[in-house]
């Protein structure tokens, strides 16, 4: 393989990996530049805030004569390394094992390590820019305030160039090794859940590390925080050499930077060696597994249409973690709220006790007097979590160009609509029942009240789902790069949420009217059921009409 071919491979990877073609192709140029400028405008306020905080932190240390500037710089560097590490894991996995050009690259006379090197070179540039954006303002401020002399600048520049190598190499080695584990490495669910847990764990670790001990001295507070953040950087073997090179004296800084260069070269060679030996195996095993699955599908037993269609929708949804996780709706916030509440309670030493306050309120006299309103309100509140799911408002859209298969089936369009509705409804029902089971541990309702909550919340989820599916049936988004784009960048999801909130608002208005008239419990319970049953009937009628229009949509 000559150098020209390798340069061509690098050029192709940069054009594809960084989507540079869109900036120069005439048809896509305006849209790409508008998207780039718009994204920069949206991120600018947050980024400016980060820069201002860094400058003010160094200014505070200087104005108060606190000798903690080295700890602050090391803390910023450690945080940048971890940001690169956790951003690099999903990026590396997607580039190495999920990119669409793999089928074209593998038959070409490239060695596995060359493909790995070209792909990681693109990610290196991206991570370098991300790391610089976060760390460079702190480094510039460090030099501007005179904490380091000019001769130290070349050492700092070398450190900036080497900064992404250690976390990126660890990400690549981990991805390649895990991908070679049979039954695990090629599971999208494993990677999706693993990355999510890793990000949550990193957030908790950083939050715990930044919890300062009680101290009246500001110097002690800052010192404890910066030391704890800097210690996290030691969890990346070899990265400490680059950290110390930033703040050490002349000769020790040069020695530490030389060690940092040697460690970086070692990581690069280790990554290429692992890639050369283990990169291709998971891809070939994945192709073989897909061929076997096609054989099994061909021998599938005959079922009724509705049962088969519901099963197909469930399998397609659960097979794609991005679609399934987006379909969780508001339920995904519940564990995050639980973790946040636990951290707040620990940090405040029990002063923040929301569950205790809620329990006291539910046992109050007002609760006993207006119990029906609380029961209906909790049922509708639980249904709101399900109304935020994108399973329904993007159900037709995620099928994309395969929608013509459903249009050509010898069944009524409403049967397809009902199949999609039942599949999504089954998943949301399981989440709703699990949430209600957890709520029974906190809310002191009787059994008959919880039975009513289940019935009313399920009816409310039903009309939310039916309306959302009807909205997507009227105008599905069929052109997208992947299912994530079809779900996350779909205006139909926003429109369906608007309809859901309007229905919840109608329920709130009805409850307000019943409250003002001091209606009795039977009337409150019956009115809430009647209103939501009417909404469900209207949603199904709308769905029948919308599904019939699907025949006129061009695929």
The 10s digit of each residue's pLDDT in 42-73 is 778 877 888 888 888 888 888 888 777 887 88
Q: At residue 293, does pLDDT exceed 50? A: no
Q: What is the pLDDT of residue 301?
A: 42
In whole angstroms, give the CA distance from residue 376 to residue 460.
Answer: 11
In whole angstroms, give the CA distance from residue 299 to residue 8.
Answer: 44
Q: How confident is the model at residue 216 (pLDDT cuts 50, 70, 90)?
A: very low
Dihedral, CA of residue 167, residue 168, residue 171 and residue 177, to nearest 10:
-120
Write the CB contacts of 159 (distance below 8 Å, at least 6 apart in sequence): 242, 245, 246, 257, 260
Write the CB contacts of 145 (distance below 8 Å, at least 6 apart in sequence): 58, 59, 62, 69
Decide: pTM greater than 0.85: no
In whole angstroms, give the CA distance from residue 54 to residue 222.
Answer: 13
Give the distance between the most distant pair of CA atoms in the chain: 85
Let me know the angle formed at the C-alpha of 13 by 11 and 14, rounded to the nearest 5 degrees.
65
Q: Which of 175-179, 225-229, 316-320, 516-520 has the lowest mean pLDDT?
A: 225-229
Q: What is the pLDDT of residue 404?
A: 64
Phi and psi, residue 381, nearest 5° = -65, -40
**Domain layout of the chain by residue ranges:** 3-280, 306-552
Q: At residue 38, does pLDDT exceed 70? A: yes
Q: What is the mean pLDDT of residues 322-331?
A: 72
Q: What is the pLDDT of residue 213?
A: 42
Q: pLDDT digit string (tens) for 111-133?
A: 888 888 989 999 999 889 888 88
Q: What is the pLDDT of residue 297?
A: 45
Q: What is the pLDDT of residue 233?
A: 56
């Amino acid at each position: 393989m000559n150098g020209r071919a390798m340069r061509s491979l690098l050029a192709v990877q940069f054009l594809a990996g960084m989507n540079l073609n869109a900036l120069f192709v005439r048809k896509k140029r305006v849209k790409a530049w508008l998207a780039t400028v718009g994204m920069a405008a949206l991120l600018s306020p947050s980024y400016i805030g980060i820069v201002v905080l860094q400058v003010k932190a160094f200014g505070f240390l200087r104005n108060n004569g606190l000798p903690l500037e080295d700890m602050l710089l090391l803390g910023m560097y450690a945080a940048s390394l971890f940001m690169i590490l956790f951003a690099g894991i999903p990026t590396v996995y997607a580039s190495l094992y999920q990119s669409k050009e793999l089928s074209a690259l593998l038959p070409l006379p490239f060695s596995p390590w060359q493909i790995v090197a070209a792909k990681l070179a693109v990610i290196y540039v991206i991570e370098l820019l991300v790391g610089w954006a976060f760390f460079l303002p702190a480094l510039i401020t460090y030099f501007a305030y005179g904490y380091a002399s000019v001769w130290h600048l070349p050492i700092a520049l070398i450190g900036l160039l080497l900064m992404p190598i250690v976390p990126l190499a660890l990400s690549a080695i981990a991805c390649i090794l895990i991908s070679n584990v049979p039954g695990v490495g090629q599971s999208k669910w494993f990677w999706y859940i693993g990355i999510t847990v890793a990000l949550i764990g990193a957030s908790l670790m950083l939050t715990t590390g930044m919890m300062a001990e009680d101290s009246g001295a500001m110097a002690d507070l800052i010192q404890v925080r910066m030391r704890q953040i800097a210690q996290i950087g030691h969890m990346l073997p070899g990265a400490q050499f680059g950290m110390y090179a930033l703040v050490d004296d002349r000769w020790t800084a040069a020695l530490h930077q030389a060690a940092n260069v040697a460690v970086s070269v070692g990581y690069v060679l280790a990554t290429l060696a692992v890639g050369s030996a283990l990169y291709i195996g998971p891809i070939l095993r994945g192709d073989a597994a897909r061929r076997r699955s096609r054989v099994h599908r061909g021998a599938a037993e005959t079922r009724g249409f509705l049962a088969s269609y519901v099963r197909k929708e469930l399998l397609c949804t659960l097979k794609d973690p991005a679609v399934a996780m987006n379909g969780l709706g508001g339920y995904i916030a519940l564990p995050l709220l639980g973790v946040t509440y636990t951290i707040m309670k620990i940090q405040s030493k029990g002063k923040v006790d929301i569950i205790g306050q809620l329990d006291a309120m539910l046992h109050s006299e007002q609760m006993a007097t207006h119990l029906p309103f609380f029961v209906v309100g909790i049922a509708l509140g639980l249904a709101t979590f399900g109304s935020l799911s994108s399973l329904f408002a993007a159900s037709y859209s995620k099928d994309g160009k395969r929608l013509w298969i459903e249009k050509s089936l010898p069944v009524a369009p409403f049967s397809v609509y009902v199949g999609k509705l039942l599949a999504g409804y089954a998943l949301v029902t399981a989440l709703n029942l699990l949430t209600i089971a957890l709520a029974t541990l906190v809310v002191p309702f009787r059994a008959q009240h919880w039975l009513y909550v289940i019935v009313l919340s399920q009816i409310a989820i039903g009309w939310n789902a039916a309306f959302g599916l009807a909205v997507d049936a009227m105008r599905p988004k069929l052109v997208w790069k992947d299912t994530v784009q079809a779900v996350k960048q779909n205006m139909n999801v926003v429109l369906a949420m608007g309809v859901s909130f309007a229905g919840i608002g109608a329920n709130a208005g009805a409850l307000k009217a019943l409250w003002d008239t001091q209606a009795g419990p039977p009337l409150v319970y019956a009115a809430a059921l009647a209103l939501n049953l009417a909404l469900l009937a209207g949603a199904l009628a709308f769905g029948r009409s919308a599904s019939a229009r699907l025949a006129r949509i061009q695929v």
